[in-house]
Amino acid sequence: MSGQAAVELKGGMYTLLSLQIHSIEADAIELALKNKVQQAPGFFKETPIVIDLSPVEHMPELDTDKLLQLVKDYNLVAIAARVNDKSSPAACSIKLPVLDAGGPRADKSADTAEQDKDGAKDTPATPELTSGGVIDMPVAGPTIVTRPVRSGQQVYAQGGELVVLGQAGPGAELIADSNIHVYGPLRGRALCGVTGNTDARIFCRSLEAELVSVAGNYKPLEEIPADLKGKPAQIWLDGDRLVIEALK
């Protein structure tokens, strides 16, 4: 038992979901939360999240207690709040540890960060500036599924890509925060970018899906072009238009 301390402090990087708040209206927040959770019931259950208050942190009307209660009601576990200014009203009132914005985000958008520094110190960052990278998650490794995904089964690749080597049967659900690749026939549902990544794409060798979705924009089988059925295809988001096209 010698040598090993009972506790040890270590630094670490963790993949976390962040919930960005764009409204101070509790009803609007609740509705949006409800919709999000309904898209993948079960997957948000007990998920640790960071509440990103930066768009609304300077609005004293925001009821942070109510917000935390809502988040709790939808089975999410808030572990911290993220703000740009630790002295803002929201940062002071929320009963959570407060994280400063910055970190990896700052070097990714260096220009924006520079602008922030040049501007008046107390000027809050506008929502436009921060909403560029809503979810700036360190990419997790791909989830690779070597067996067929059967009807009624759900696979969720949290924080990364999902690769399915076999088929996904009708009634199966493939869910990923990033891209989805399916090498067998895709007959079930495929939802990529479920946490808001609009750059996520679905690639498949035989498109027979019941439903495809990128960052919440979906199309059911009926709306999938008939000439693409059973063909290799990719699905991606162009603005808010879902594009389904042949893979050449």
Catalog residues that contact another protein under the rule CB under 8 A. Answer: 147-153, 166-167, 169-172, 184-185, 187
**Nearest distance in Å: CB 184, another protein:** 7
Amino acid in position 22? H
**Nearest distance in Å: CB 150, another protein:** 3
Closest to another protein by CB, 160 vs 188, is 188
Closest to another protein by CB, 138 vs 152, is 152
DSSP track, 74-129 = TTEEEEEEEES-TTSHHHHH-SS-EEES-THHHHHTHHHHHHHHHS-TTSPPPHHH
Contact 95, 65 (CB under 8 A): yes
**Nearest distance in Å: CB 175, another protein:** 15
Closest to another protein by CB, 166 vs 216, is 166
Contacts (Cβ under 8 Å, ≥6 apart) of 153: 172, 173
**Nearest distance in Å: CB 182, another protein:** 13
Number of Cα atoms under 13 Å in the Cβ half of residue 240: 1
Residue 221 burial (10 A CB sphere; 0-12, 13-18, 19+):
middle
**Nearest distance in Å: CB 24, another protein:** 43
Closest to another protein by CB, 102 vs 152, is 152
Helix axes 64-73, 26-39, angle to 10 degrees: 20
Contact 161, 179 (CB under 8 A): yes
Question: Rounded to an integer, what distance in angstroms lies between the CA atom of residue 159 and that of residue 178?
Answer: 7
Closest to another protein by CB, 132 vs 230, is 230
Closest to another protein by CB, 4 vs 146, is 146
**Nearest distance in Å: CB 177, another protein:** 22
